[in-house]
Structure formats: C-alpha cells, structure tokens
Structure 1
Amino acid sequence: MSKYVEPSAVTGHVVVRDVTVVDPLDGSRTPGQDVEVEGGRIMSVTATGAPIKGAHIVEGRGRYLVPAFMDMHTHALETPEDMDGTYALMLANGIVGFRQMSGSRTLLASRREGTLPAPTGAPALLATAGELLTPLNASTAEGAVAAVREQHADGADFVKAGVTTRETFLAALAEANRLGIRLGGHLAPDLDPREAARNGVWSIEHLGPGVTVFAAASKQEDEVRAMRATRELPPLPTTRSTGALQAQAKMIKQMALNPATGTSETEARAYELADGSYDQGKAEELAAIFVEHGTWQCPTLIRVHTQQFGDSPEHTQDPRRRYMAPEELQAWDQSAAKFAELPDVTRNALRGHWDAQLRMTKTFADAGVPMIAGTDACGAAGIVPGFALHDEFDYLAEAGLDPLTILQMTTTDPARFLGREGELGRIGTAMPADLVLLDEDPVADHTALHRIAGVMREGAWWDRADLDAILERIAAKPGAH
C-alpha cells in the first residue's frame, strides 16, 4: 500500500487504442496502433481494429506512446523505511525503474530475501551497489580489493567508487574485472580518465566529478593536474566499528547535500585554468577513447547545476519543494546558506564551469559516447525526485542534444547499459507494460516528455487526473526525500 498512490481502477486487460507508438531505438513513429496489455505484459501491438470486448480502453488518438522512463542515478533507497513519497513522485513523472547508487549489506540482503518495500506503483530497482568505496573500507589497495570481493559475494550488481585515490581505484577496478562485476562512479582526483577507460571502468558519473575529465581536454593539462585539485573533505573514519559506520553515514549525507560547498581555492583555480585552456581536439580524442572502450557517462547535469548554483532562486525557491519532507528542506536551506558563504572567486569559478560541462556533454554525444540519464535524487540539495529527471532532459537539451537522443538516454540506452536489451526500453510483444502516454511528439521536441497524459506501471493505468491527485496528496503531507 501507499500513502499517496491509490490502486488503479484500470488494470488487468487494457488496450491503449489508436495511438502513435514511438520506438526510441530509431525514432520511428507508427500511428494508428492498438497496444494490448494483460498480466503486466504487452500482449500485442497491432493496427487499430474493433474494440476488444472485456478490455479497459485508454484512448490514444492524437497522442504518443513511449516506454516509461528510467532514472539511472538515484539514491531512492537511502531511506528504505520512508521512500513512499519519493516513489510516488517518480510514478507521477513517468519513472518506473532506477539504479541505486549507494547500498549496504542490509539492502542487498533485503533484496535477496524479497523484503524491500514495494508500495503501490513503486518503480523497479534495476541495479544496486553495495557500500561506496571510501577510506572506511578502501583506504589501501588491499582494503579496496577486499571490499570488492565482499560486495561480489553479497550479490551487488556493481561497485561504486566514492572517495578513492588512483591506487585504490585501480586496485578495486582490477579485482572487479577479475570477478566479473562492474565498477563505476567517481573518478579519483589523481586519476587520468583515459587510464580509467582503458582499464575497463563501467561508468563515470557527474562528468568526473571535479576537474579530472576537464584536465584531459586542456591545452595545459600538466599544469591543471599539477594543481592536485581536490575537494576539502572532512576526515573520514578508517575503522569499521558501529560508531565509525554511523559517523561515516552522517558525514557522507552532509557532504552529499552539496559537495561544492567544500570547493577549495585550488580547485576553483583549476576549473578556471582547465576551462580557459580548453582544446576541442583533445576533448574529441578523449571521447574517442570512451567510445573505443565502451565507457558510459551519466552526466547528471541537474546535480552539477544544483551544486554550482547552490543558492540560486531557481533551486531555493522552486515551487516543487512543497513535495519534500520538512527535515529535507531544512537541510537544503542550511546547505544553500553554506554555499552563499563561499568566496566570490570560488562561486564565480563554479558558475563559469557550467558552460564547460554543457560543451563536454555535447562533445561526448556527438562522438557517440554511450550515455544515460540520471539525477542523483534523494539526499542531494535542490533535487526533487521524479521531476529532476525532467530537469535533466531540459539541461541535456540546453547542451545541444537532440530530442531522440534524450529519449534514448532514459529508455533504450539504460537497457543496453544494464545488458537488458530486449527486456526493457521499447514497446513490443512480451515487453513490460511500463508505458507513458504523451500529448505531443517527443521526437520532434524534448519538451513533449513533460506532457504526460498518463502512466502505466506493470499494466496498471493512472491518467492525468490520477497523477495530479497523487501530487496533491504528497503536497498535503510532504514526505519525499
């Protein structure tokens, strides 16, 4: 059950009638189709015919049917005891699956035992890591190897690098490759992204983060790297006692609100030097390496924007804050106040870096670097779950990506990323009945992705009025995290 999502009255045998079916794989649109659903699966996709007796009919004429969306970088299960509001916002925004970017032995055990919470309309957990690699569990190469082995034994889908060094990152990556488990996440500040790609890193999040990817596209790369630019982080515990684990969790949660509040003056200068000495040819060479080695990128532009414009009214006065739990908003506001105290030179460097991030995203897209859409929702200041994926669509468009590419980054590309092509991300017989009905053509304009007329999750249908009612219930008792 859910506090916010009432069970659908339209479920079981359902037909979305006379709709234009969009295939994100190639952008083709086929009008006049009946999509028949039963048992949570698509039974058939055929030319519109006579109404099917006994089936619920969803009228699709003049509308466009796409596979439902996937958010490939979230922390929705950071608070598994209270994720109902977050899940409801995801449903209302057409999101039916996610990749969990921080886990634990408890989370992995709950998944194995089938005890993860699943309120009405909940999205599917598509993949999860175990504990982040940090100085607590990976302060040495030997510790990093042991952490990877533990997560592999616990059934993690991948290992996420959080706070590492080049030595610990590469040691973990080598062990992950040996065991056949993927490793992705944050690049270490002293790690060349080309080296990470050549050694088989699965994914790079947030375009780095930090300056390391941008150093590789600088005419003054050696000078940028010599600055050894790192975030000013509080000391993390290096023991695994219960108290240390709790202390680490608290520190990481505080850091995660907005890591940019810890930007050092050295890092600010490194951004300015890297951005001012940008070399398009080197950026394209880097992109070619990523293509060659299949190194995925999850830019999370919404995340970097909320970091680098941490006290901007578009985030601090976002009307969608009304859906967030009060304690979450209090933490966000404290983070914004801390950001506002940064020196002007640091704030200017962070804001100036935004154009470089858009430019790099476009360069990667043009080169064919594989990319997925993600938000870093749940625990990050200014990011409203569900809605944030639509913010990401807008920022990807601002970077210059075309509408089809944006649609692919939340449908077919996640399926390919997870090795589940043929199972997710398209509309066809035997595919999951996870669908979004749009009022406009998403291949013509990415903003059509915001015009949701209804969402189907596992064959259950919520129309626009139902989705609005969900949002009103959350606003009346804010509970998203």
Structure 2
Amino acid sequence: MLRTVLLTLSLASGLQVCPTPSSANPATDRLIIEHVTVLSMAPGAAPMADATVFIADGRITRVAQGEALSPGDKVTRIDGRGRYLLPGFADMHVHVLNRGYGRDYGGSVFEPDYMRTGDLMLPFLANGVTQILEMSAMPETLAQASEIESGAVLGPHVATAAMVDGEPPVWALNARTATTPEAGRQAVREIAAAGYDFVKVYARLSLPVFEAVVEEAQLEGLGVVGHAPAGSRNQADAVLRSGLSMLAHIEELPKLGGSMDSDVDSYGALARGRDISIATTLTTDAWIARQTRDPTSVERVQGIEYLHPLLVWQWTHANRYTAATSPELVQARDDLVVFTQRAFARLNEDGVRLLPGTDSIVSGVAYGFSLHDELSLMVSAGMTPRQALESATRRSAEFLGVSTDRGTVEAGKRADLVLLDADPLADIANTRAIAGVIVGGRYLTRVELDARMADLAERYRGLALPAGLSGEDDATP
C-alpha cells in the first residue's frame, strides 16, 4: 500500500504532470552578470574574478574577464560584485512525491491542483538544484520530465530510472518483476521502449537475472543503477564487473562481502578501476539515526513547511523509523553513520567517483534543502569543497551523459546557474547563501524565490489530507 511505500521512505516516488500555466515563461530576455567571480567547475579551471557572463536564449554565450558590452534592448543586468557564479547543483538520488502514489487514497489526491508539478519542484530550484535523478520512475515521471523540458513549468531536469526487482518486489507499485533472465531482458526492453534513461536494479533480483538485466541494458544503451542483488555476498567481482553504472548507496558495499567493522579499507579496491559511481546518501543515514534517537526531530526539519502535507503526515504519523526504537537500534544506526563516513573517506582517497545523492523523501530528508546537508557531510568526511562542488555539477553531468550541455560555466552551455553571496570554496556551507538561480536562462531572484516559497507554504497549510488517514500505518513493510 501507499502508506508503507511512502513511510518506508528509502525508496519512493515519481512525478506527476499537473498544469501550472503561470509558473514558467520563455527566457526571451538577455542577461549580463557583471563583476562576478566565476567558479566554472571545468577541469583545472581557476576562479575567474571580475568576470562578465553573457546569456541569451537560455545559453551562456560568452564568459570574459574585466569586459562589458553595451547593452541592447531587453537586457537584464545583474550585479555580481561580491558574488560567486557556478553551475546548478545535481541531486543524484531522489524520489519525488506524485499522484501515482495516491492510487490507494483516491479522491482529492487525483484532483489536478492537489499535487502540482511546479509546487513539488520548487524546493529544488529554490536551493539551486537544477538536475535530479529520479530513482523510482513511473509513467508520471516521464510526463513530468517532458513538461519541464518543454518549458510548460519550471523545474530541474529529471533523469529517470525505472525499477526491476524479483518476486515479491519490495515496491510493487512502481517495479517490474523478473525471476528468470529472459524476463529480466524483457523488462529492460519495456523500459527502453518507454523512454526511461536508466534501469534500476533492486535487492530481490537473483544474481543471474541481475546479470541478464545489465547485459540487456547495455544492448539498449541504458545505464544501470541501484542495489546489490540477492545472493551477491562474496560476489563483488561479478557485480562490479557486470557493467553496473552506479550503486545507490555506500552501505550497499558490505552486501558484496566483508564487514562494516573490519573491511572499510577493502571497498576502494573493490570499486576502483570498475568505472562505477556511488551515490553517497550520507544525509539519509544521519537522519535515520537522528530520528531513531529523537522521534520528534523530523518535526523540526529545515524546509518541512514547503513539503506536501501528505508527505509530512507520513513523516510525523506513520514513520517506521520512529515507530519502534531501542538502545540497541539507536547504536546500530549510529554505527551505520560512522561506517558510511569512514567508507566515503576511503573511497574518495582511492579515486572512486562519488556523486551527491540524498534519497530525499526519506523522513527528515527534504527536497532541495538536503542537498546542502549532503555536500557538508561530504566535506566533513574528507572531500575538499571543490571536490564536493565538482561532484554536484560537472561530474554528475558527466555521469548522466549531458556534460556537453550543462554542468560547467562555459560558452555554449545551458544557463542553469546558481549565484551565491559567499564563496563555497572557502566554506561549503556557503552553497546555502543563494542570491539567485538561473534556470534555462530565466533569472529567479532571491526575493522572487522567497515569495514563491512563502506562497507554497501558505497553500500547503490550507490543503486538506485525504479522508480516512489515521495516525497509524495499517500495512506491513
């Protein structure tokens, strides 16, 4: 049931198309950002002080130092003095709520204004996130991505990963199932035909089916992301050499062999040289541990007022992480936090590609806001601020195969940019100091973003939950 799907929260959701005609307009004006420090995130590029960035038709047309041009008609000049311009951020592991998950509720969940696309996506944009990887994509996700790309609504680019699992699937609502290699291949062919970008493998696939899925995905030109398959312990080489593109979590590594206590140093060797990426999800582990210790902590999450009331209800009334706790469980979840941070440090030292993913929808992990938490944890665990920023921009774009289009501040690239009031290279916490966001060449000032967010919070306060919700989860995981 939906209540379990949302509440379990380590995997959920997609996106639903709802018209929001007032939320997006074509980027017709030209922009000039003057006297700004450009952090291009291109390989080896040093910060460019006192730069001028020219934008037209949604693209960066020129980046020059100490240069200004006479503005023509319809030019918006942005004062960049004391500010820093860098590419928009990517969150490489999200699950965004959508009406597809309302099938068990019915009624108001299906009304067009109940879950509006622009509303669901606004917290990402307000936090400078202009690219997401949806890790449990459904047909609604594809429609949502298309609507954003068409310019009908404002939102981040949405890359899509559709799930394949064994029987019974962990998430019946949005997973194709396969118990034989041929069934796995057929599931991949369906995913490719539907237009998804990636296949997501999940935990109940057998190893032979997993290998068939990966092989078929390669034939179809799709990347494969996700979890270690069932029965893969001590099969690290088979899994990591299979062609898997990205592990969904650092904590997947112990499932391939070894122990969280004694084998942290071995995981870099396992992953190094396999051309595999890992989504970090450090903030998810931290929030699971925090709410196990203090069940009320989710009520104080930064940005909770901008989340859909149905999701907030799940966090506060039907949350499996707070439903039952004990000193032993608190310790186990604290131990997992320590492990993932230690493993992160070693993987980073060994040159494994680590990409920021939040697993947002997990209770405590708010859309958009959590990306800044993730970047801070990545730096605390051993990355430099520049490494973390490169991971959230250029390296994520490279993984998604869109680096010729975006991910750096260079001429010809799409104008998906973040303007900061403070230097994130000096302190990664400065990624929160957002003065404005440019998405597809459209400039959203901090004032406009704040006004949009305030309006969203006000409307969410007045949004009624579906009839019949209780304070208890009535399903089992």
TM-score by length of 1: 0.79
Q: Name the SS for the 1:382 alignment partner.
A: coil
Matched, 1:460 2:432: no
Q: CA offset at residue 139 of structure 1?
A: 2.9
CA distance in 2, matches of 1:372, 1:8: 31
Provide the C-alpha distance between the structure 2 equivalents of 1:451 and 1:4, rounded to a whole number of angstroms: 29
C-alpha contact 1:138 1:144 (8 A) present in aligned 2 = yes
Residue 37, structure 1, aligned to residue 73, structure 2: no
Report the residue type matching 1:28 in the other structure.
A
Q: Does 1:90 align with 2:72?
A: no
What SS does structure 1 have at the residue aligned with 2:303?
helix
In structure 2, stretches of 5+ residues that fail to align are 1-17, 101-114, 170-176, 466-477
For residues 10 and 63 of structure 1, the distance between their equivalents in structure 2, rounded to whole angstroms, comes to 23
In structure 1, the residue matched to 2:288 is 307
- Tell me how far 1:297 sits from its aligned partner: 0.6
Whether 2:30 is the aligned partner of 1:13: answer yes
CA distance in 1, matches of 2:149, 2:77: 33
Whole-angstrom distance in 2 between the partners of 1:448 and 1:106: 34
1:317 matched to 2:300? The reply is: yes
Q: Give yes or no for contact 2:161–2:225 (8 Å, CA) kept in 1.
A: no
Matched residue, 2:310 = 327
Return the offset for 1:16: 0.5
Would you say 1:283 and 2:262 are equivalent positions? Answer: no
Which structure 2 residues correspond to residues 313-392 of structure 1 after superposition, within 5 A?
A: 313-336=296-319, 339-377=322-360, 379-392=361-374
Alpha carbons 1:306, 1:383 under 8 Å: kept = yes
Distance in 2 (CA, whole Å) between partners of 1:425 and 1:453 is 19
> Aligned partners of 2:277, 2:437: CA distance in 1, in Å?
28
Is the 2:164–2:187 contact (alpha carbons within 8 Å) kept by the matching residues of 1?
no
SS in 2 for 1:461: strand
Of residues 198, 203, 208, the one that matches 1:158 is 198
Maintained 8 Å contact 1:375/1:392: yes
Cα distance per residue 1:391-437 (max 9 Å; x no partner): 11121122121101110111100111022222210111111111111
Cα deviation for residue 181 of structure 1 reads: 2.1
- Please show how residues 217-232 of structure 1 align to structure 2 within 5 Å: 221=258
Residue aligning to 2:4: none
Distance in 2, matches of 1:65 and 1:188, equals: 41
**Matched length:** 416
Any idea what the Cα deviations from partners look like across 1:337-365, whole Å, max 9, x if unmatched? 65341443233112112111001111111
How far 1:212 sits from its partner (Å)?
1.2
| Paired position in structure 2 for 1:260 | none
- Residue of structure 1 equivalent to 2:241: 198
Query: Is the 8 Å Cα contact of residues 306 and 460 (structure 2) preserved in structure 1?
Result: yes
Distance verdict in 2 for CA 1:9–1:45, change over 3 Å: same
Higher helix proportion: 1
List runs of 5+ in structure 1 lacking aligned partners.
Answer: 222-273
SS of structure 1 residue aligned to 2:354 = coil
Check conservation: 2:301, 2:366, Cα contact below 8 A.
Answer: no
> Aligned equivalents of 1:364 and 1:277: distance in 2?
15
CA contact (8 A) 1:76 1:83 kept: no
Matched ranges for 1:76-475 at <5 A: 76=96, 78-79=98-99, 82-105=116-139, 107-108=141-142, 110=143, 120-125=153-158, 127-135=159-167, 136=169, 137-164=177-204, 165-191=206-232, 192-209=235-252, 211-212=254-255, 216=257, 221=258, 274-278=259-263, 280=265, 282-286=266-270, 290-311=271-292, 312=294, 313-336=296-319, 339-377=322-360, 379-475=361-457
The one-letter code of the counterpart of 1:322 is: E
Q: Distance in 1 between matches of 2:453 and 2:92?
A: 23
Counterpart of 1:346 in structure 2: which amino acid? L
Deviation of 1:459 (Å): 1.1
Distance 1:442 1:364 in 2: 23
Determine if contact 1:206/1:303 at 8 Å carries over to the other structure.
Answer: no
Query: Which residue type is aligned with residue 83 of structure 2?
Result: R
How far apart, CA to CA, are the structure 2 residues paired with 1:446 and 1:349?
29
**Contact 1:105–1:130 (CA<8 Å) still a contact in 2?**
no
The one-letter amino acid paired with 1:299 is: T
Identity %: 26
Question: What root-mean-square deviation, in Å, do the aligned CA atoms of Structure 1 and Structure 2 show?
Answer: 2.9
- Shift in alpha-carbon separation, 1:301–1:129, aligned structure 2, 3 A: same
1:188 positional shift:
2.0
Q: How far does residue 107 in structure 1 lie from its aligned partner after superposition?
A: 4.5
Q: 1:302-325 deviations in whole A, cap 9, x for unaligned? A: 222223333435434224211222
Structure 1 residues 106 and 460 mapped into 2: Cα distance closer, same or farther (>3 Å)?
Answer: closer
CA-to-partner distance for each residue in 1:232-255, whole Å, 9 max, x for gaps? Answer: xxxxxxxxxxxxxxxxxxxxxxxx
- The counterpart of 1:46, out of the listed 49, 61, 64, is 64
Q: Structure 1 residue 7: deviation in Å?
A: 5.6
Distance, in Å, in 1 between the alignment partners of 2:38 and 2:298 is: 35
| Aligned equivalents of 2:50, 2:149: Cα separation in 1 | 40
